[in-house]
Chains A and B, each alone.
Chain A
């Protein structure tokens, strides 16, 4: 697929850096992400992929550099503000509202998107349109039949799907998946991959994907960037990047493809 480089990027990071004491976890990463593309971010464990995500979605504050979103500098904005602007995040460690029902989880995200949280005096359940929207999204991730269940009772795979549902519900322009298939059983993986493929159909969306499984990356990504020790070491077309010596050494050399795949089953 052709990258529309001529267009302004939706999201870009400019010399984005974070230091923890003397350790530089993300080191001056500059990268543009364009509308309608799916970029895979790869690198060995500890390369700074999740930290890079945290800098973009705001869980961590950058030591230096900038994050731009639709032409606006969002480096100093709070997580909530970035989310409301359209940066969605599905977390690596499942991160839900465990004591609430699956429907309520999704409904809360829809409610946040509609900016109705400060409504004090109406009944939450009287806003049928929010519930319908939540159920629509649950149907998209194949969870509608489990809407009544308490979230903590869901299987791990279903919790991952709900994680994705929460991200979709906030109506994001940028969708960040952090190892969406990690820990899933073999038959659940295709469901999530199909879902990402479907989300990709919408050309207004920009997807960032941290993933270890090379076959997944090959089938989904338009572009790969490689992080190693916090630095951006390669960027480009998936087949080329995977074949390049720097990647073979930095990434595949450390964690061979077969081994990573085997570890997840």
Chain B
């Protein structure tokens, strides 16, 4: 049963299985294990980014296609849901319609990009996606009447999904059971389902063809696979998945703006997460996203603690000052890429 859910893609390492189980249960019980608004927010972001990074790995790690338009698709999904909620009011039908439209638009966009540019060399496809994504970013900030421009959109979601809605009066295990918790579990279970769907896709006959194309596109064509068609379908699927992740983000934040969905910073983060976790493995996306977002959220706190305890040493305490967290973040990533060239999953599997 579990093997079937994982589509036969076993972690193939005791350490990896342990880490994945830890992450699964950590996220499942996050509201109770790590109470507090900030930790719940980090947990929800982790869920969403696992899907986003996994869908990017479908392209980069499995198919060998480099795209810089992934945040654009993420943004299309988020804006789809946001615009529907702004214009139709806080209703479930707005969420459903926005999500479906976002996914369809993202898929259609991906289809057009694939049609025009997948026939050419890989570098041109990468440049094309970069250009389209940048143009889209400008477009969104210019169409302020529709998208809220640089300020983005704030909106209300159905009352049952907001903190104002109380399931029970008393706290359970020290946690208020309110609408925010419901939203968290919507995000968690949706992400889990989307991840399992992605896992199935990469282990399907289709997914195997993608790996063959990554290994040797010339030969894949010469045993009868139309490479352009497969690359296009992979691009579309990856875009749709990213859009769905974007809808979850819009739902969780109750705000959608260029900085939370479309910015190139997020694109770079996604790339880093894929590489750190391990390209060509869906589990790599999980580990990459968890590690990256935890470091991003808590490295400053950790450095603060470190500085306090080292307070007396003059130069060292300056170096570990919390303001220098970006420096340490960068160093950590350089080290992880240096020591784990095949990502953490590759390392844990001992390949």
Contact = CB atoms under 8 A, between A and B. Distances in A.
A83 interface: yes
A125 B212 CA distance: 15
A108 B216 contact: no
Given A78-B226, A104-B208, A122-B204, 12 more contacts: A59-B218, A79-B222, A91-B219, A96-B219, A97-B219, A108-B208, A118-B205, A119-B205, A124-B204, A124-B205, A124-B208, A125-B8
A129 B4 CA distance: 19
Interface stretch (A6-14, A109-117, A233-241): A109-117
A186 interface: no
Given A97-B216, A120-B201, A83 B222 contact: yes
A95 B224 contact: no
A91 B4 CA distance: 38
Interface of A: 57, 59, 78-81, 83-84, 89, 91, 95-100, 104, 107-109, 111-113, 115-127, 166, 169-170
Contacts of A78: 221, 226
Interface residues on B, range: 20 to 34
B204 A166 contact: no
A97 B225 CA distance: 14
Nearest to A107: B208
Contacts of B201: 120-121
A89 B223 CA distance: 8
Given A100-B211, A100-B215, A118-B233, A79 B221 contact: yes
A121 B200 contact: yes
A76 to B, nearest CB: 15
A117 B209 contact: yes
B223 A112 contact: yes
Interface of B: 4, 7-8, 200-201, 203-209, 211-212, 215-216, 218-227, 230, 233, 237
B219 A84 contact: no
A108 B204 contact: no
B205 A80 contact: no
Given A108-B212, A123-B7, A169-B223, A95 B218 contact: yes
B219 A95 contact: yes
Given A95-B216, A96-B216, A118-B206, A123 B8 contact: yes
B205 A122 contact: yes
Contacts of A98: 215-216
B166 to A, nearest CB: 40
Contacts of A116: 205
B230 to A, nearest CB: 7
Contact of B205 (A111, A113, A166): A111
Contacts of A109: 223-224
B224 A113 contact: yes
Contact of A95 (B4, B211, B222, B227): B222
B12 to A, nearest CB: 14
25 contacts: A78-B221, A79-B221, A80-B222, A80-B224, A80-B226, A81-B226, A83-B223, A91-B219, A91-B222, A95-B216, A97-B212, A97-B216, A97-B220, A98-B215, A107-B208, A108-B208, A108-B223, A112-B224, A113-B224, A117-B205, A117-B230, A120-B204, A124-B203, A124-B204, A169-B223
